[in-house]
Amino acid sequence: MLKVRNLSKVFRKGSMEVSVLDDITLSVSEGEYVAIMAPSGMGKSTFLNILGCLDRPTSGTYLLDGVPVQDMNDDELSHIRNKKIGFVFQSFHLLPMMTAWENVTLPLIYSDSDVDMKSKAIEVLQSVGLGDRVDHVPGELSGGQHQRVAIARALVNDPRIILADEPTGNLDSRSSDEVMRIFRELHSSGRTLVVVTHDPEVAREADRLIEMKDGRILADRSTSAFREGAAG
Amino acid sequence: MRVLRIARTALVTLAAHKTRSLLMMLGVIIGVATQNIVFSAVLGARATVMQGVEKFGLDSLMIMAGAGRRPGVIQAEPVTLRVGDAEAMAAEIPNVKHVCPQIMRREVPVKRGNKSSYSVVVAAPAIWSSVWSTEVEEGRFLEDEDVSRRARVAVIGKTIASDLFDGEDPIGKKINLASNIFEVTGILESRGTSVTGIDMDSRIVIPLTTGQKRVFNQEHVRAIKVAVRDASIMGQTVEDIRSLLRERHHLPRGAEDDFTIVTPTKVIAMAMKLSSTFALFLVLVSGVSLTVGGIVLANIMFIAVHERKREIGLRRAIGARKKDILFQFLLEALCVAFLGGIIGLGLGMAGIYILKTVSKIPAFLMWQPVALALSSALVVGLLSGYLPARRAANIDPSDALR
């Protein structure tokens, strides 16, 4: 599903060049649940952004569903982000002036389908257990509820791939458990999940654990737990 | 429709940030209001000029004694234009219908008992009333017999009537004009203030001969108004008059005319040229405040784009294209500017209404200022929205979400 070959990313700061990702080759199959662990600031967010078509590699190729993504223009990448990918962020990125359901409808604005946005949003909010919070604005919700609204937003266009960047980084352990439970459900429904984290508890949930350091892959192994949902 | 959903997003954002939206609007409101007032006043002034010219009559022309006035050159009063010239025109040029030779003098003191005033004295034949299409409202106008008898009779304007008679009926009463006693025979209908600022109701019309022999002691006249039969051959008539007058005044070939012929088309052309140059200037000056409004709008937009970096990054992450972001921000600017334009227009109209009631500035409600206000508001919105919107669209989403 996701195939990355010889991927590198170099940032330029004045005359200095900082290599963030260095010759990464990796493939993630449909339905896999992958955790990426790395010390902070070691390029894992950049890697996730490239996987999410939000950033471009400096060199290397990236096939998404067999389609080379590195040559696509901005409109095509936007379309892919809208249709195929759901992002979950550490700091949620909910718009504070909007209610939960309005936040969830945001991806529908940019999709070309003409579903009834409100009922679709409420339906997804119910599926993450927030059916009674649809009309609340973020200021009236707890941290865990924030992240569940954000997950509902990521799911509203029914993407096949969920990319999560430290999804539990700002949450207490009870809320983290709730988020992890939702991720397990998404996994068992056949979605592909890539979760960047530095929390071993979160990483342990995945089928596969990739450890990165200094922009390279150190280790790539299967974890023993929860392998029954993985499809090759 | 994606476009409609994004448009709705823009409106919701504006509604959610009312203070910011109002601040963005403020400059446009003031700019449009100013422009609206100025433009309306200018158009009003122009319409007044046109009305004045129409009152003068499109089938009329005026021969003034002396060559046209030149700046810095002091002219003695020309004495060559005579009643005989008027009679000759009427007799020899077929297209001339009526001629009205007249003497005019401003600031002539007029008294009655202990009351006094200053008047514009016009000495003219009986035909003056129809040539200038000015009727008497009470009493009678001058008659041919008054002129042939050099009668001491006068028809007075409303201002003189109220200054000297204070509510009494002036008809048949005596007034003292330039040391002559005149009997008031009629009161002229009100004509207000002329384009050149003369109170038309301070006129006193006396028989031409009386003016010549008893008041001003002169044979020459100041002007001859001519009514023509066919206005379409005005140009030819002007030439006929010119050559007749040159011949009568014995002007050698190459010498300058000692009279000036003013036609309504000339007056209109002059008034239009003057007022459109002036109008352009005023509208441009008032455009400065609109420009400032646009700069304010652009600045607040830039700040808003910076503040909303995360929102923009998020929208990009969930599928907004660059052009979607551009459209959203441009539409926000356009809506703010357009709404500001409408409010400014309302304020401007209120201002015009106040101007009209407290002063004599002629300003009318016309469609051109409305169209100008709304279109310039849109232009301002487009111009000051574009750069911030483009900056918003070009924000790097991965950077904005960090």
The predicted-structure confidence for A152-173, as pLDDT tens digits, reads as follows: 999 999 999 999 999 999 999 9
Residues of chain A whose pLDDT is less than 70?
42, 224-232
**Structural domain range at position A103:** 2-222
Minimal-distance CA residue of chain B relative to A80: B319
- The DSSP string of A53-79 is TSS--SEEEEEETTEE-TT--HHHHHH
B16 touches chain A (CB under 8 A): yes
A231 in a domain, yes or no? no
Q: Quickly state the pLDDT bin for B196 (edges 50, 70, 90).
A: low
Nearest CA to CA, how far is A169 from chain B (Å)? Answer: 14
A144: helix, strand or coil: helix
B162 vs B206: CA distance, rounded Å: 19
A111: nearest CB among B12, B319, B402:
B319
Summarised one tens digit per residue, pLDDT across range B313-371 is 999 999 999 999 999 999 999 999 999 999 999 999 998 888 878 776 666 667 888 88
Domain regions of chain B by residue span? 2-52+269-400, 79-257
Per-residue confidence (pLDDT) for residue A151, from 0 to 100 = 97
Per-residue confidence (pLDDT) for residue A226, from 0 to 100 = 45
Per-residue confidence (pLDDT) for residue A231, from 0 to 100 = 42
A28 vs B171: CA distance, rounded Å: 111
- Which residue matches tokens 């010759």? A23
- Which residue matches tokens 């999709």? A111
Q: Which of A7, A72, A115 is nearest to B321 (CA)?
A: A72
A215 in a domain, yes or no? yes
Contact across the interface for A109 and B6, Cβ inside 8 Å: yes
Contact list in A for residue B12 (CB cut-off 8 A) is 97-98
Contact list in A for residue B7 (CB cut-off 8 A) is none
Q: Quickly state the pLDDT bin for B392 (edges 50, 70, 90).
A: very high
Nearest CA to CA, how far is B14 from chain A (Å)? Answer: 11
A168 touches chain B (CB under 8 A): no
Which residues are A63's β-sheet partners?
Answer: A3, A68
Minimum mean pLDDT among A204-213, B25-34, B114-123, B250-259: which range? B250-259
B314 touches chain A (CB under 8 A): yes
Beta carbons of A94 and A150 less than 8 angstroms apart: yes
Q: Quickly state the pLDDT bin for B277 (edges 50, 70, 90).
A: confident
- The DSSP string of B167-199 is TS--TT-EEEETTEEEEEEEEEPP--B-TTS-B
- Which residue matches tokens 């949450």? A171
Type of residue found at B167: G
CATH number of the domain enclosing A184: 3.40.50.300
Beta carbons of B228 and B96 less than 8 angstroms apart: yes
Per-residue confidence (pLDDT) for residue B381, from 0 to 100 = 94
Number of Cβ atoms within 10 Å of the Cβ of B67? 14
For chain A, the domain total comes to: 1
Beta carbons of B150 and B209 less than 8 angstroms apart: yes
pTM of the model: 0.73
Which pair of structure tokens corresponds to residue A128?
């993450």
